[in-house]
A = this chain, B = another copy of it.
Amino acid sequence: MTDSTLKDDDKLNNILKAAQKKFAQFGLAKTTMNDIALELGMGKASLYYYFTCKEQLFEAVVLKEQEEFIENINKSIKSTDSGIALLEVYVKRRQVHFENCHNLSKLKYDSLASSPIVCKLLGDFYKKEAEVVKTILEIGVAKGEFVEGDMSEKADFLILVMQGLRLATIKRKNDTILSKQDHAVLTKHLVTTVDMFVKSIQK
Contacts and interface: CB of A to CB of B under 8 A. Distances in A.
18 contacts: A114-B174, A119-B174, A157-B192, A160-B165, A161-B161, A161-B164, A161-B165, A161-B193, A164-B165, A164-B166, A164-B168, A164-B169, A167-B167, A167-B171, A196-B197, A199-B199, A199-B200, A200-B200
Interface in A7-62: none
Contacts of A76: none
Give the size range of A's interface with the partner.
20 to 34
Given A199-B199, A200-B196, A168 B160 contact: yes
Given A199-B200, A200-B195, A160 B175 contact: no
A80 interface: no
Contacts of A166: 164
A169 B160 contact: yes
A154 to B, nearest CB: 10
Nearest to A126: B172
Interface string A168-203: 110110110000000000000100110111011000
A163 interface: yes
